[in-house]
Amino acid sequence: MRAFAELLERLLFAPGRNAKISLLRAYFTTQPDPERGLALAAIAGALDFPGAKSATLRELTGKRVDSELFDLSYDFIGDLAETIALIWPAYGNDPPALPEVIDTLRAAKRGEIPGLIENWLDRSDPSTRLALVKLLTGGLRVGASLRLAKLALAEMGLADVNEIEEIWHGLQPPYAGLFAWLEGKGERPTAGEAPVFRPVMLAHPVEPPDIEKIDWSAFRAEQKFDGIRVQIVATGQETRLYSRAAEDISAAFPDILETIDFHAVLDGELLVIRDGVVAPFSELQQRLNRKSTTAAMQREFPAGIVLYDMLFDGTEDIRSLGFDARRARLEAWFAQTRPARMQLSPLIGFGSIHDLAALRETAREAQSEGLMLKRGDAPYVAGRPKGLWWKWKRAPLSLDAVLMYAQRGHGKRSSFYSDYTFGVWTEEGELVPVAKAYSGYTDEELNFIDRWIRNHTINRFGPVREVEKSLVFELGFDAAQLSTRHKSGIALRFPRILRLRTDKPAEEADQLETVRGMIS
């Protein structure tokens, strides 16, 4: 665990992306199997320990430390792992090895796990305890993404990172085959006929300078439908439905999978579609994040997919073809196959960028987030290559809301009150919450807001502070929708801070009735 703990600590304080990649490459190069593979799995979020959750760790700490001291320390530090690491009343010099922790937890019965953790915490110094708790809770928060780890692996093995992306979803921890290939000791791993996820191609947002300088005649336009991006992988023997983040969501959409009898890999948008009409995103949300779904829910919220692209036609990989050629293959395949619960995304004809701008203005009425613009000769490339695909999203909605509550952030923000709850006024003059937001401000603004919160706190609820209802923010958001989670009955989708409104009195913030009028 010591080498892993040192890696996490150095990553946390590394000044930039290249420094983090260098640290990861050095770790993967010098550490043995299976330790380096298990560390990679931790970074990838591929490890799960059901019996070792935050509640277990808090309960253990509560037995060894005065509860009031723990609460005060946690409130001051703002990070559970760091609090436990520092306050644990023992100092050991015999920490467990990373494989020992993982293998032991996997073999242990749930009732044995608290005792194991307590023993490991006693055996460890604070730095190793911090790494241990982060590992157990699955929240490393050291500024090292899986993408950075893959770039480090590519440098280590002098390989193309896209090759690693291509095989990644067919691999399992501790990735012995991957490391053997990168070190020239084995063959490149392959997925074979398994229905594995393929890395998706993403678009860059259109910025104002791009509008006039790009030759849009080389591009094809289609709606950016307001659902979730999915990949259908059908081998003829097995079928999977994946989210954009490679999460297998097949079990939640049996109504889609039971109709699939073809052999292809397709890219599309998962939506609720009734009689050919796309429903608002809020209806699709009723089907998301479920391990299974009832027949009644399938009838009430019928799922469908709008197809954007084709990656494999049978066993033939067609990603190297340009978009126009892939589109022709998709159209011919669709005409022959006629897959149930699926339809083609219509291509939109246009004469100029001004035509597209007019279409973009009507996106909200079409249950679309805006427009997708794809070069006709663009191959399907993993990641976000510049210049091939663009997304021109509809302008955000906005409102003025009052800060009600604040909570400390995580990782580098754990010392700041950076997570905020905002409210608007009812007709009776009551503030009711409508959104939580934690992005959109500068470092200078964060310092100001944090200081203001500390000086204007009127109540505390554990790590949450209630503040005077006097600071106004302009919030941007994508849509307003009905919600039972908020007292207001409304939630904002993708809320973010646009600017501080220190010039505006709180009583002039928006009314709940105004927000109701924005519900799509």
- Backbone φ, ψ for residue 447 (5° rounding): -60, -45
Q: Supply the pLDDT for residue 396.
A: 84
Contact 128, 5 (CB under 8 A): yes
Contact 91, 125 (CB under 8 A): yes
Q: Supply the pLDDT for residue 208.
A: 87
Which is it for strands 263-274 and 228-235: parallel, antiparallel or unpaired?
A: antiparallel
What is the sign, positive or negative, of the torsion defined by CA atoms of 230, 231, 234, 238? negative
The answer for residues whose C-beta is within 8 angstroms of residue 422's C-beta and 6 or more apart is 401, 402, 403, 404, 433, 434, 435, 436, 437, 473, 475, 495
Contact 343, 304 (CB under 8 A): yes
Are residue 280 and residue 375 in the same domain, yes or no? yes
Are residue 243 and residue 370 in the same domain, yes or no? yes
Residue 164 lies in a domain: no
Q: Supply the pLDDT for residue 177.
A: 95
C-alpha dihedral over 496, 497, 498, 500, to 10 degrees?
Answer: 170
Are residue 377 and residue 435 in the same domain, yes or no? no
Contact 197, 267 (CB under 8 A): no
Residue 157 lies in a domain: no
Spans in the chain with pLDDT lower than 70: 411-412, 520
Q: How many domains is the chain built from?
A: 3
Are residue 21 and residue 127 in the same domain, yes or no? yes
Are residue 109 and residue 84 in the same domain, yes or no? yes
Contact 310, 265 (CB under 8 A): yes
Going by C-alpha positions, the residue among 154, 145, 130 that lies closest to residue 20 is: 145
Active site annotation includes 213 = no
Residue 194 lies in a domain: no
The Cα–Cα gap between 263 and 240 comes to 12
Are residue 360 and residue 230 in the same domain, yes or no? yes
Helix 54-64 with 126-137: angle, nearest 10 deg: 140
Helix 54-64 with 113-123: angle, nearest 10 deg: 60
Label each residue of 268-335 as H, E or C.
Answer: EEEEEEECCEECCHHHHCCCCCCCCCCHHHHHHCCEEEEEEEEEEECCEECCCCCHHHHHHHHHHHHH
Contact 241, 257 (CB under 8 A): yes
Are residue 260 and residue 297 in the same domain, yes or no? yes
Question: Cα–Cα distances in Å, from 107 out to 139, 321, 354?
Answer: 22, 48, 63
Q: Supply the pLDDT for residue 30.
A: 97
Q: Supply the pLDDT for residue 491.
A: 86
Going by C-alpha positions, the residue among 483, 485, 488, 494 that lies closest to residue 510 is: 488
Q: Supply the pLDDT for residue 411.
A: 65
Are residue 234 and residue 367 in the same domain, yes or no? yes
- Backbone φ, ψ for residue 369 (5° rounding): -85, -10
- From 330, 362, 393, give the residue that closes a domain: 393
Q: Supply the pLDDT for residue 233.
A: 96
Q: Which of 20, 134, 150, 224 is catalytic?
A: 224
- From 104, 137, 170, give the residue that closes a domain: 137
pLDDT digits over 280-307, tens only? 888 898 899 888 899 999 999 999 999 9
Q: Supply the pLDDT for residue 289.
A: 86
Are residue 401 and residue 389 in the same domain, yes or no? no
Domain range for 98 is: 2-137
- Amino acid, res. 446: L
Contact 125, 95 (CB under 8 A): yes
H-helix or E-strand spanning residue 408: strand 397-408
| CATH number assigned to the domain comprising residue 422 | 2.40.50.140
Are residue 282 and residue 219 in the same domain, yes or no? yes
The Cα–Cα gap between 132 and 124 comes to 9
| CATH number assigned to the domain comprising residue 73 | 1.10.3260.10
Q: Supply the pLDDT for residue 281.
A: 87
